[in-house]
Structure 1
Amino acid sequence: MTAASLGGLLRERAATAPDRPLLRFGPVTLTVGQVADRAGRLANVLRAHGVERGDRVAVMTPNGAAFPVAWLAIAALGAVAVPVNAGYRSTDLAHVIGDSGARTALAGGADAATALLRAGVDQVGLLDPADAGPAPDVPAGPGTFDAGAEAAGAPAAFDPPDLGPDDVVNIQYTSGTTGFPKGCVLTHGYWLRTAEIVRGILGVTETDVDLTAQPFSYMDPQWNTVLCLDAGIPLVILPRFSASTFWKSVREHGVTFFYVLGTMPVFLLRQPPDPADREHDVRIVLCSGIVPELHASMEERWGVPWREAYGMTETGADLFVPADDTSSVGSGAIGVPVPGKEARIVDGELVIRGEPMMRGYWNDPAATAERIRDGWLYTGDLARQDDRGRFHLVGRRKDMIRRGGENVAAAEVEAVLVRHPAVRAAAVVAVPDELRGEEVKAFVQVGRATDPAELIAFVCERLAPFKVPRFLEYVDEFPMTPSERIAKHLLPPGRGAADDMRGE
C-alpha cells in the first residue's frame, strides 16, 4: 500500500477505479468515486462550519453508508473522528464528549443530535444514515444544521492538507479496567497497516466480497472499510447483527469472507439447520473468541474454515491462525503473530510489540505508561504458548466483563449505581453465561428498601444497554480489604440469590 493517509488512499482509488462498488447498504450502493465525491463535499461543509485540522468531531450514526463517508471526510480534513456508540446514554455520552473535547458532531437522527447537544457539543450536522444525503429530520433550534443537504450543494473539489501516516485520525473509545472508557489515539497509519495485514492473511483479491454487521462505532467495520477500499471490493453493511437473517444476507450478496466475534457464532449455530446452509460463496471466516467445543460443528455445518484472530483497539491485528492450520480446530489456539508484530508472555501476561499500535490514551499519560512499557503493550490477558508457538488465552488480569462481543468495565457501572440516592456501595462482577460467555452482576448495599427495578431503570437511563446488569443481589455489608476496598473475590460466586432483571 503506497498511500500515506486515508484521504490519500481514497483519492488514489477514485482516480484509478471510480466505478467499483465500495459500500452496499440495503438498496444503496456507492462506488468509490461516489464515496470520494460525498466525502469531499462533506469535508468542505465541515470546513465551512469552522472545523480545522486537529479538531475532534464526534460521529453518532446507526449503521449505513453515512458513517464511513463521514469518517473519510473528517480524515481528509485532517480532523480527528470520535466514533460514538449509538446506544450511549447521558453519562457515558457526556464522558466521551467531555474527554475528547469534540465541539462539532455528525448525527444520523434528531434524537442523537439532541443528546449530543446536551452532552456539550456546540453544533451537530445531520445526515441520512443510509447514504449520507440530506437528513430526513432536523430538530428545530440553535446548534443543528442539515449537513447532508449542505454537502449536496457544496463544491466537489476539496483541497486537502498534507497528511502522513503519523497524523492522528481517531480517538477510539474502548472500555478500560477502571472508570469510564479511555480514548485510544489512532493514526492514519494504524488503519492502513491493519487493513494491509488482514488483507494479506486472508489473501483478499478483486473477486472477494466482504460483510460487516457490527456497529461502525467499533473498530472492526472501520478497518473493513479501509481493506475494501484498498482491495477494490464491496463492503456489505448490515443494519445490525441478526442471527436469523445473517446467512440469508451472505448468500444474497455473494459474500466470500467476513469477521465476527463474541456471541455471534454461538447465535448462528443455534439457528435451526437450513438446507441452504452450504449454499454460499464464503471461503473463510475470521472470528475472535471461537468456543473450542463448538469449532468443529461450525466448520461442519457451513463447510468453510473458521479461523481465530486476536487483536485490540489499542493494537489492531496481533495474532491469527493460518487458513491451512486445520489442527487448530477445537484447540482454543488464538494463533501466532501477524507480520510485523511480536508477542511474548511476561509473568503470565500476553504482551505485544510492533505496528499498528495506538499512540497512547487521550489525556491519560499515566494509563499510557502503565499499558505501554519499553515499546511493549501489556494486554491484561493471561496466556500460554504451546510447543508449536501458538498462543492460548487462559484468563484476564483486568476487572473487565466480556459480555458477548462487548467490554464492560465494572468500575463504570459501579460509578453509576452509587449515584442512586439509596445506594451505599456497589460491586459489579462477571458471572459465567452459556450464551454470552459472561453476564453483568451487581452486588448492592442500600440504605433503604429499594425495588431492584428502580436501580436497573436508573442505570438504563445513563449507560448503554449492554452495560446494564442482568443480575442484581442485595447485601447487608461487603467484605473489605485492609485498605477498605471491597474484596470482590470474597463475594458469592455465580448467580447466587440474585434477581434476574431480564427474566431469562
Structure 2
Amino acid sequence: MTTDTAHALGASRTFWELVERRAALTPDRPVLLQDDRTLTFEELRAGAERTAAGLHDLGVRPGTVVAWQLPTRIETVLLAMALARLGAVQSPVIPFYRDREVAFAVRESGAAHFAVPGEWRGFDHTAMAERIEAPGIFEAYDSLPEGNPSALPPPPTTGTDVRWIYWTSGTTSDPKGVLHTDRSLIAGGSCLAHALHLSADDIGSIAFPFAHIGGPDYLVMLLLYGFPAVLFEKFALPDALEGYRKHGVTVAGGSTAFYSMFLAEQRKQPDTKPIPTLRLLAGGGAPKPPEIHHAVVREMGVQLTHGYGMTEVPMITMGSPDDSVDNLATTEGRPPEGMEIRIVDGEVRLRGEAVCQGYLDPAQTAQAFDEDGFLITGDLGRLTPSGHLVLTGRLKDVIIRKGENISAKEIEDLLHRHPAVGDVAVIGLPDPERGERVCAVIEQPPDAPRLSLSAAADYLRAEGLSVHKLPEQLEVVDALPRNETLRKVLKYKLRERYSGTVK
C-alpha cells in the first residue's frame, strides 16, 4: 500500500499539491526532527501557509524571485515550501558562499528579496547582504514572516514553470544558474525514493546543506513515503553521532565522503556499531570506488546504495537494495522509467522529466543540449546489458599521455584498495614530452607508512594496470581540497597547485 500511495503522490503537479496530499493522508506523522523539535506533515503544511502569508505581506507574488542562503533547519524547509505555496521563484544559495558568489547569484537571478540567517557560525550574513546591496533583505533563522492565510491567492496549478534556480559550483568561472520546475524536482526525488524501498517506519537524515539540489530531492522522498528525517545544521563526526542515535536513524549518507567518515568511526571501535539502528547508507554526487562499497558492507554490516545525479538532473540513476552485490559495487544503478540515457562516443547524455530546463544564460543552454534534446553531461560511461550505468570518468578527467587516453577513475579505484591510501585524486599535468603526465595525489590514513611513487607503481603493476597508465608523479597531502556541500574533491585546485595551470 505504501508503494502504491507513493507512486500516486508522485504524480502531483506541484510541490505544494504534494505537501497538501501528504498532510491529508498522515497529518500527525512527523516529517522533520531537529534536536528536541518535531514537525508533523500537517504542521509543515500549516506553517508554510502562514509563512506564505507573511511573505505575501512583504510583496512576494507568484513569479517573484526570492534568493535564500540558509542552513539546514526546520525554518528553511518551511520557507522553501511557503515560496512553493505562493508560486514564487526561489534561488537557494549554499551557506558557505561568500560575497563574490552570493552577489553574482542574487544579481543574475533577478532576486527581489534575499533571506539570510543573520550571524551564523561566526560569519555575519546580514552584513554581507548589505555590502553587496542585495534587495529586500530579511532574516529567517529562528523565526519567519507570518500572516493570515485567508488573504493568499490560490496556489499554483502548473508544475512546469521555472520556480527554482540552483547554482553549479564555480571553479575557474562564475557559477551557472540551473533552471528547475516543481515537476523536474518531484521526478528526481521519485527516482531516489522508489529505488531505496523505504517505508513509513524508516527514519532518514539530511546532513548536507538543504540549499543543495539534494534538499528538495530528499524532501520529495519524505512526502512520498511518509517518514521523517533528522536535520543536521552542522555535520561533523563524531559529534553528530549523538543525533543519529537519539532519533534512531535507519538511513544515512550523502556522498562518498560521508561513507568514508562513517567507516572511519566504525574502525575506531570495530565491535560496536556507531549507529545501532542504521541499516542503509545511500547517496550520490561523487564517484564511489568499489572498495568503499565492500568495506562499508563488510565492516559496518549495513547495505550501501549509490546513485548518479547533478545539479542539472537531481537523480539520474540509483542503486537498489535488491541489486546484485556486483552491480551495487561497480555501477550507479538503473534509471527510472522516463529517464532516457544515450551513450554518444562514450559520453553520457540524458533526456527526461527530471532534466532541468537549461540555464539562466540562453547561450549556455544552447551548448548544453544536442539536436535531439539530450543534455550533454561531460561524464563518460556505458550501460550494461541489465541497464545499469557504469561511469568511467569525466571527459575533462581523461588524461592524454603520448596520444593515449587514460582514465583517472581506473587508477583511483585501484589505489583505493591500497591499505596506505585513505583517499586519492588522479590528475593530468602538462608535460612537454608526453603532453600530459599522470599525477596521483593521496591522503593517507593515520599512522600509515608514507607511500612512495615506486611502491605505488609496483602495486598498480601487480594489480594489472598497463605500464603506460602508471603515475609518474605522486604527492601526499594532509587533506584533499573539497567543496562544502557533498565534500567532492576539487581537482582543479590540485591542477593549479601542481602545475600552475588549469585544465
TMscore range, shorter length = 0.7 to 0.9
* 1:271-326 deviation per Cα after TM superposition (whole angstroms, max 9, x unaligned): 21254317633332223232212221100122121012111121121112231223
Contact 1:170-1:187 within 8 A present in 2 as well: yes
Task: Note if 1:173 corresponds to 2:167.
Answer: yes
CA distance in 1, matches of 2:305, 2:329: 11
CA distance in 2, matches of 1:51, 1:330: 45
Aligned to 1:20: 29
Secondary structure at the aligned position of 1:228 is classed as: helix
Q: CA offset at residue 349 of structure 1?
A: 0.7
CA distance in 2, matches of 1:330, 1:304: 13
Q: CA offset at residue 56 of structure 1?
A: 1.0
Instruction: Specify the code of the residue in structure 1 equivalent to 2:315.
Output: A
Over 3 Å counting, the alpha-carbon distance change for 1:187 and 1:323 in structure 2 is: same
Contact 2:16-2:81 within 8 A present in 1 as well: yes
Contact 1:104-1:122 within 8 A present in 2 as well: yes
Aligned to 1:311: 309
Q: CA offset at residue 352 of structure 1?
A: 1.4
Contact 2:249-2:275 within 8 A present in 1 as well: no
Q: CA offset at residue 338 of structure 1?
A: 2.1
Aligned to 1:280: 276
Task: Note if 1:372 corresponds to 2:390.
Answer: no
Contact 2:69-2:211 within 8 A present in 1 as well: yes
Task: Give the alignment partner of residue 119 of structure 1, picking from 132, 135, 138.
Answer: 132
Over 3 Å counting, the alpha-carbon distance change for 1:33 and 1:435 in structure 2 is: farther
* 1:76-115 deviation per Cα after TM superposition (whole angstroms, max 9, x unaligned): 1111111111111111111111111112011111421221
Task: Note if 1:128 corresponds to 2:124.
Answer: no
CA distance in 2, matches of 1:248, 1:359: 41
Instruction: Specify the code of the residue in structure 2 equivalent to 1:371.
Output: A
Task: Note if 1:184 corresponds to 2:178.
Answer: yes
CA distance in 1, matches of 2:243, 2:439: 34
* 1:47-96 deviation per Cα after TM superposition (whole angstroms, max 9, x unaligned): 11111211110111122111111100111111111111111111111111
Over 3 Å counting, the alpha-carbon distance change for 1:473 and 1:185 in structure 2 is: closer
Task: Give the alignment partner of residue 155 of structure 1, picking from 145, 148, 160.
Answer: 148
Secondary structure at the aligned position of 2:334 is classed as: strand
* 1:447-466 deviation per Cα after TM superposition (whole angstroms, max 9, x unaligned): xxxxxxxxxxxxx9xxx999
Aligned to 2:259: 265
Q: CA offset at residue 259 of structure 1?
A: 3.6
Contact 1:353-1:375 within 8 A present in 2 as well: yes
Q: Which moved more, 1:239-248 or 1:261-270?
A: 239-248
Secondary structure at the aligned position of 2:359 is classed as: coil
Task: Give the alignment partner of residue 55 of structure 1, picking from 49, 56, 64.
Answer: 64
Aligned to 2:38: 29
Aligned to 1:294: 292
CA distance in 2, matches of 1:326, 1:246: 31
CA distance in 2, matches of 1:63, 1:56: 21
CA distance in 2, matches of 1:284, 1:465: 21
> 1:341-490 alignment to 2 at 5 Å?
341-362=339-360, 364-373=361-370, 374-398=372-396, 432-434=441-443, 469=493
CA distance in 1, matches of 2:443, 2:159: 42
Q: CA offset at residue 332 of structure 1?
A: 2.6
Secondary structure at the aligned position of 1:366 is classed as: helix
CA distance in 2, matches of 1:334, 1:22: 28
CA distance in 2, matches of 1:245, 1:298: 20
Q: CA offset at residue 162 of structure 1?
A: 3.1
Task: Note if 1:212 corresponds to 2:209.
Answer: no
Contact 1:292-1:332 within 8 A present in 2 as well: yes
Aligned to 2:454: none
Over 3 Å counting, the alpha-carbon distance change for 1:243 and 1:175 in structure 2 is: same
Secondary structure at the aligned position of 2:128 is classed as: helix
Task: Give the alignment partner of residue 107 of structure 1, picking from 116, 140, 159.
Answer: 116
Over 3 Å counting, the alpha-carbon distance change for 1:372 and 1:433 in structure 2 is: farther
CA distance in 2, matches of 1:290, 1:473: 25
Task: Note if 1:235 corresponds to 2:229.
Answer: yes
* 1:145-175 deviation per Cα after TM superposition (whole angstroms, max 9, x unaligned): xxx2x42xx2144443333120222101112
Task: Give the alignment partner of residue 251 of structure 1, picking from 228, 245, 256.
Answer: 245
Query: What is the percent sequence identity of the aligned residues?
Result: 29
Aligned to 1:321: 319
Instruction: Specify the code of the residue in structure 1 equivalent to 2:272.
Output: A
CA distance in 2, matches of 1:308, 1:466: 17
Q: CA offset at residue 258 of structure 1?
A: 2.9
Q: Which moved more, 1:79-88 or 1:238-247?
A: 238-247
* 1:32-58 deviation per Cα after TM superposition (whole angstroms, max 9, x unaligned): 222222211211121111112111101
Bigger fraction of residues in helix: 2
Over 3 Å counting, the alpha-carbon distance change for 1:435 and 1:124 in structure 2 is: farther
Over 3 Å counting, the alpha-carbon distance change for 1:77 and 1:266 in structure 2 is: same
Secondary structure at the aligned position of 1:270 is classed as: helix
* 1:224-257 deviation per Cα after TM superposition (whole angstroms, max 9, x unaligned): 1122123221121112322314444333212222
Task: Note if 1:81 corresponds to 2:75.
Answer: no
Aligned to 1:136: none
CA distance in 1, matches of 2:177, 2:236: 29
Secondary structure at the aligned position of 1:244 is classed as: coil
CA distance in 2, matches of 1:187, 1:49: 24
Contact 1:293-1:330 within 8 A present in 2 as well: no
CA distance in 2, matches of 1:190, 1:175: 20
CA distance in 2, matches of 1:382, 1:328: 20
Secondary structure at the aligned position of 1:44 is classed as: helix
Contact 2:263-2:300 within 8 A present in 1 as well: no
Instruction: Count how many residue pairs are aligned between Structure 1 and Structure 2.
Output: 407
CA distance in 1, matches of 2:255, 2:133: 33
Aligned to 2:216: 222
Over 3 Å counting, the alpha-carbon distance change for 1:327 and 1:226 in structure 2 is: closer
